[in-house]
Amino acid sequence: MMQLHIEDETSSLKAVILGTAESCGPTPTPEQAYDPKSLEHILAGTYPLEADMVKEMDAFAEVFAKHGVKVYRPTVLKDCNQIFSRDIAFVIEDRIFHSNILPDREREFEAIQHVLDQIDPLKIIRPPEEVHIEGGDVMPWNNYIFVGTYTGEDYPDYITARTNKQAVEFLKEQFPNKTVKSFELRKSNTNAKDNALHLDCCFQPVGKDKAILHKNGFLVEEEYQWLVDYFGQENIFEITKDEMYQMFSNVFSISPEVVVSEKNFTRLNNWLREQGFIVEEIPYAEIAKQEGLLRCSTMPLIRS
């Protein structure tokens, strides 16, 4: 049996599910877009091609192989976008949680059955129906679980609002020994530059004590300030609105020393190197057009 183990975002990665861009189907219609950035590219005729996205994901898989990480891929479903494996599930401690996601994405979870078969069934948790939650909003960080949420009364009006207040309460019940800290995120169905789809679109810890942050992704200034105080201003890389739009905060840590980043993120990559990180640069700009990047494409199972 596989022993799941995730306590944070950056410890040494041993096993991960990496999504797949194979058979991801035709370009969606504007009505089928799940987020404003995809919509923008559908309308502009610049929506990414499957061959380009497969190439980008292959580059990611090569980096994992280089660092000795065990990589699982989902079973390929015909004409189904299975790139963003972080949406469908997430691991905290020794349990995997089945996200309650947009209903037509349910079969993406079934496509990782070969991984689930290796896990103790008692460690596979399906939250109750009223709990809306996606892995991009959930970040275990030692004694904390950081959660991105939107609790406005207009929550049902936002296809971009993915994690609700019931989810925050659910995690508190599941992990009484941890502090669940929630952050209200700015949502927009129409303007990608004003939309933090998930918490990892405007915040991510790197290393042992540093973070990438975008102030405007947060609705409540005090909550943003809490993170600044927690990590310390000198340990924070603040990204611009345009850099958030390009998904600068959605990098991925293989260990406290190694960060996988998009090769065009020059300002960020230079800063990471100045801080002593090894930066593995790969092309991922086509996948970024769907408002998801490196963290979104991965679902870590074991970190040590």
Name residue 72's beta-bridge partners. 17
Q: Residues 107-118: what's their mean pLDDT?
A: 96
Q: Residues 83-87: what's their mean pLDDT?
A: 94
Contacts 24+ apart (CB under 8 A), 102-105: 102/34, 102/159
Q: Residues 35-42: what's their mean pLDDT?
A: 86
Token pair 């896990």: residue: 119
Name which of 10-24, 42-56, 147-161, 272-286 the model is least confident about: 147-161
Name which of 102-111, 146-155, 190-199, 258-267 the model is least confident about: 190-199
- Looking at the chain, the whole-number percentage of residues with pLDDT higher than 70 is 98
Q: Residues 264-291: what's their mean pLDDT?
A: 96
Q: Is the predicted pLDDT of residue 126 greater than 80, yes or no?
A: yes
For residue 248, give the amino acid letter. Answer: F
Q: Residues 3-31: what's their mean pLDDT?
A: 96
Q: Residues 88-113: what's their mean pLDDT?
A: 91
* Residue 104 tokens, joined: 């037509």
Predicted pLDDT of residue 176: 98
C-alpha to C-alpha distance for 212 and 239, rounded to whole angstroms: 7
- Looking at the chain, the whole-number percentage of residues with pLDDT higher than 90 is 83
Q: Is the predicted pLDDT of residue 104 greater than 80, yes or no?
A: no
Predicted pLDDT of residue 147: 97
Predicted pLDDT of residue 187: 78
Q: Say what the pTM is.
A: 0.95
Q: In 3D, which of 29, 28, 7, 6 has the Cα closest to residue 17?
A: 6
Chain segment 196-249, per-residue pLDDT in tens: 779 999 999 999 999 999 999 999 999 999 999 999 999 999 999 999 999 999
User: In this structure, is the dihedral angle defined by the CA atoms of residues 106, 110, 115 and 116, taken in order, positive or negative?
Assistant: positive
Q: Is the predicted pLDDT of residue 38 greater than 90, yes or no?
A: no
Predicted pLDDT of residue 36: 79
Predicted pLDDT of residue 161: 66
Average pLDDT, rounded, for the chain:
94
CA atoms within 13 A on the CB side of 277: 28
Task: Yes or no: say if 83 and 297 are a contact pair by the CB < 8 Å rule.
Answer: yes
Q: Residues 272-278: what's their mean pLDDT?
A: 98
Confidence of residue 160 (pLDDT cuts 50, 70, 90): low
First to last CA, the chain: 17
Name which of 88-92, 101-105, 131-135, 211-215 the model is least confident about: 101-105
Predicted pLDDT of residue 27: 92
